[in-house]
Chain A
Amino acid sequence: MDNGLILEVKNLRTYFTTEGKIKKVVDGLSLSIKKGKVMGLVGVSGTGKSVIGMSILNLISKPGQIVGGEVLFKGKDLLKLHERDLQRIRGSDLTLVSQDPYTSMDPLYTVGNQLVEVIRAHEAVSKKEAKEKAIELLTIVGIPDPERRMLNFPHQFSGGMQQRIVIAMAIASNPSLIILDDPTRSLDVTIQAQILSVLSQLQLRINTTMLLISASVQVVAQFADDVMAIFRGRCMEVGPKQSVFKAPCHPYTRSLFEAVPSIEGERVNRLKGLDVLHEENYAEGCVFYTYCNRAQEKCVEVSPDLVQVGENHFCACHF
């Protein structure tokens, strides 16, 4: 962990086998996150972003399997650890906030109960102290009247509130890394804004390292320090936010940004979208070949490697 990297993923490959066919959902993905930074993974749905998150946590089960690569969390390869050790890390040093808050909580226990449980599982504190910490956490995430609401059950909270509680549970153990899998997907716009605000305040306060996975380019733009564009489980472009958004190099990244309707500026009458109707598998070439408007001969044959195009900014395209 000497190089300041909390997470270092090297050449991760996760394949899914259904009915005899192998689907390379994640194929040679590498990424790294420095301490205190937020890395945003963005891409259209179905490109394997969630699977990447689950692979990092080593939570892939049949019909999927992690077939190669390393996931170095603070120097230790999570893919090689025993399940018991993994369980110690998951939920305490490496936590997850997923899309649907309601399924992340136990509907039969009060919110306070669940928080206290998480706290006491990782710190040797008395019930009373844990309770106080729980109240503190609920206040940090913005739940009004925490002492009283601690006694409520998850279903008594609205979606936005539930997600805040899940975030509280995720930070309760002072984790070194939080993975957020599209945390605002099911929320209304104003509630999403609240959650993003909570998360950014958390960032300022506790300086947590985060991996934010989202299908929404705007959310990632708002929040991440570094951005990686994923397509078909491979990295298309990666770099610091400013660099990638201002000068996107890969045609995929470009079309992602152009498809985003913006409420600012001039009204643009036509949006540009990708044609993602069919699946083609060009085994050797670039995964983006079929959709690319700059594709040439070379693209079918050779899969491009990451090429540096700016400071810390890499792009996987022949051009």
Chain B
Amino acid sequence: MTDARKPILEIRDVYKYYDLKTLTFFSRVVEKVKAVRGVTLKILEGETIGLVGESGCGKSTLSRLIVKLEFPLSGTVLFQGKDIFDSSEVDQKLFHKSIQLLFQNPFTTLSPQMTIGDHIADVLTIHHLVDGKTSIRKQVFGLLDLVGIPRTAYDSYPENFSGGALQMVNIARAMACTPKLIISDEGVSILDVSDQARILNLLQNLREKFQLTCIIVTHDLSVVRHICERIAVMYLGKIVELGQNDEIFSTPAHPYTRSLIDSIPTIRRGLEGIMVAPLKGEVPSPINLPSGCTFHPRCPLATDVCREKEPGFGEINEGHSTACHHWKEVR
């Protein structure tokens, strides 16, 4: 079953390195933090795709690249067919209107000196979506209603609200631009379960109502299990597995994915006394990457070829790709 939807976002072979300057007494060393190393991904219009990985895997950098908060070293990103980094092709404001990012920390993403209403109204002003003074208030009310925040919040300041509520305000801000694509960069990670559930439900509702495309960037597989159609797993700057939700969970084709699934504590496992099976070792520093397949030091299936040769990213089934020499052995 091929997906008939067209790609709305195309990431082509994007690289992003950061310079890390350390001054020692004798010399100035510049090391490169290889945050993103050749990521290629097509995101289809209207889909919800999850980008999963732990800290240091580059997923946050990738999301920042997509919204142009950062610029890539090489590679291109096409939004609706146009290169976003080519300023002649894409109008800056229009671009920002179409792609929105939900940040991780709802407390620091709002200015403490402005009211909730101010924040949302400002977005409308930026994009000239307002028609008359009284209309601003009404439009903001409309947005507050959309996300489920009481209208009285208009005149309140961020300090009075919980993380979950603030995140909903951020969603209201993002929706004010009527975007086509929303990226949630760990948008629910610091919230607790019930707030997470609310936000995720809200995103789903909005997605259905407005035909949004969603990229859910997170380290929590259980979140993507529920709302994503496709899942991409990242490790140290590369995508190591990509596939449909059910397939990834039932037949993962990369040992890292397997470990991620096994590492999550669940109620069922707890009740049955099955302890989580942790992956050994730590995530290596993105400055000095291991040779060959960067996962080999921690991989239970690693062999010599893994140390020497970096596996290519290839399709093993329709819609399911992986980068592993021994993918067949992954349970």
**Chain A residues in contact with chain B, CB under 8 A?**
44-46, 158, 160-161, 188-194, 196-197, 200, 215-223, 241-242, 245-246, 255-257, 259-264, 267-277
Contacts and interface: CB of A to CB of B under 8 A. Distances in A.
Contacts of A275: 198
B132 interface: no
A219 B269 CA distance: 10
Interface string B42-81: 0000000000001100000000000000000000000000
14 contacts: A158-B283, A161-B282, A189-B54, A193-B277, A196-B265, A197-B278, A218-B266, A221-B267, A222-B265, A222-B270, A259-B194, A259-B197, A263-B249, A271-B226
A151 to B, nearest CB: 19
Contacts of A215: 192-193
Contacts of B55: 188
A267 B263 CA distance: 19
Interface of B: 54-55, 149-150, 162-165, 191-198, 200-201, 204, 219-223, 225-227, 245-246, 249, 259-271, 275-280, 282-283
A284 B27 CA distance: 70
Nearest to B225: A263
A190 B221 contact: no
Contacts of A188: 54-55, 219, 283
Given A188-B219, A271-B200, A193 B278 contact: yes
B278 A263 contact: no
Contact of A273 (B196, B261, B270): B196
A272 B267 contact: no
B265 A193 contact: yes
Contacts of B271: 221, 241-242, 245-246
Contacts of A216: 193, 265
Contacts of A222: 265-266, 269-270, 275-276
Instruction: Sort A-B residue pairs by CB-CB distance and give the 7 closest, nearest first.
Output: A221-B270, A273-B197, A271-B197, A193-B263, A193-B278, A222-B265, A274-B194
B165 A277 contact: yes
B204 to A, nearest CB: 7
A5 to B, nearest CB: 24
B267 A190 contact: no
A189 B226 contact: no
Given A197-B278, A245-B270, A259-B196, A221 B265 contact: yes
A263 B193 contact: no
Nearest to B285: A158
